[in-house]
Structure 1
């Protein structure tokens, strides 16, 4: 009886692992984030990011701040708060721009941060050497593994209760 329970448990665990590795549906998730400034008090200053690419995403110390629109993005900061150290600006088709932030705006002061994004270059390959790249596999989901393990424990519990009777 114990061997049967062990074999059943192993089979269910293996089935759960297989189901977790095989995607059931190729899903694409699109999210939109809207951030609002949190009012905690203190003197405010502004970084004015000026970039040559509209639609570029701007982050300070990996903290997303917004999108360049009409060549600029104004980022309000507390002048008495912890200062940001780096700025990152990225846009599709352009190389990532990263620089150190060396100034902190004072109360109602604006500091300009000029950014020039450079188009990303792709290596040129002669037509005689060109190859077709294989498509990357679709991302997998692992949502079924916890259910398989839970099911295995339920079955083991049922067998354990029956074997004590």
Structure 2
């Protein structure tokens, strides 16, 4: 689909400092793993536990989509070849052309990562990509260019979800 915009911004959602503190302590992280096991696989849990200062906004956003839409999310690493299960989901949703795009085009865009979340219906009938932006994070021009290509290859829109912290 050539006519898809590079991205569309969603209304901002708000997280609290208390939630972020509980996430960093591992308490909220474990609650979310127990409540949304389809979204938070062992690889994501290890990453979050080892890098507790990062990933909060992505996890918070994945929970947002679970709670508001009933949809699941794959977080970040779905583009990596060693993530066999996640790549199977990507292939089922977007086909092997999308996997090949992630495998070959990243270098062209300065080693960018795929959008933060791949959000999808539990029955695999629909999906979209989401780039999460925390309070001081902004979309870079190279991301806009890359996301336009992802949208073109996948035929799906990229949404940007701003998350504020109070």
Establish whether TM, by shorter chain, passes 0.5: no
Larger Rg: 1
Higher strand proportion, which one? 1
TM-score (norm 2): 0.22
- Structure with the bigger percentage of helix: 2
Report the TM-score when normalising by structure 1.
Answer: 0.22
Query: Which structure carries more relative contact order (alpha carbon 8 Å, separation 6+)?
Result: 2
